[in-house]
């Protein structure tokens, strides 16, 4: 099972078809070879993401999405799919951002799943050139999913 989904916060049930949109984002973001790797998606809340953000990034505040790439040195039994990593999303932050931007919760969540997957693949947005490359990839993937460019104002 390449995509493992854990819904920890009940408000995520407001998104009809959350598991389907997660699978579609997974499929659209990865090549067929990469799809053999496991990604875990945690749909949680601000309290959990605040703790993760503080513990792993030293930032004592909630955030919309966090990605945790799996170690390349992970020893696994034969036949066990190699994990690509884990992604966690905070419902309250994602919902607030969607509302403020005039986006649907479903579209914004899909964007953040794609964003998280790209981080697991090594994309980043620390400098302007990296950000442009990552955003262009996000835009192409989201277009395949019928979602408008999230960076257009």
pLDDT in tens, 109-149: 999 999 999 999 999 999 999 999 999 999 999 999 999 99
Number of domains forming the structure of the chain? 1
Tokens of 126: 């620390």
Kindly give the pairing relationship between strand 3-7 and strand 38-44: parallel
Q: Give a yes or no: residue 127 inside a domain.
A: yes
Task: State pLDDT tens for residues 3-36.
Answer: 999 999 999 999 999 999 999 999 999 987 788 8
Q: Where residue 26 sits, what CATH number does that domain have?
A: 3.40.390.30
Task: State pLDDT tens for residues 50-105.
Answer: 999 999 999 999 999 999 999 888 888 887 778 899 999 999 999 999 999 999 99
**What is the Cα–Cα distance from 2 to 16, expressed in whole angstroms?**
21
**What is the Cα–Cα distance from 88 to 49, expressed in whole angstroms?**
7
Q: Give a yes or no: residue 153 inside a domain.
A: no
Tell me the whole-structure pTM to 2 decimals. Answer: 0.93
């Amino acid at each position: 099972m390449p995509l493992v989904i854990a819904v920890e916060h009940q408000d995520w049930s407001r998104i009809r078809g959350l598991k389907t949109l997660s699978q579609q984002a997974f499929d659209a973001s990865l090549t067929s070879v990469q799809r053999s790797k496991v990604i875990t998606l945690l749909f949680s809340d601000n309290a959990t993401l605040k703790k993760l953000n503080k513990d792993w990034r030293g930032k004592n505040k909630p955030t919309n999405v966090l990605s945790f790439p799996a170690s390349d040195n992970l020893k696994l039994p034969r036949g066990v799919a190699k994990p690509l990593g884990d992604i966690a999303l905070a419902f309250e932050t994602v919902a607030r951002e969607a509302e403020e931007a005039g986006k649907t919760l479903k579209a914004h969540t899909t964007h953040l799943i794609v964003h998280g997957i790209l981080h697991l693949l090594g994309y980043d947005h620390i400098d302007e050139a990296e950000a442009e490359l990552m955003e262009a990839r996000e835009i192409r993937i989201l277009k395949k999913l019928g979602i408008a460019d999230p960076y257009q104002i």
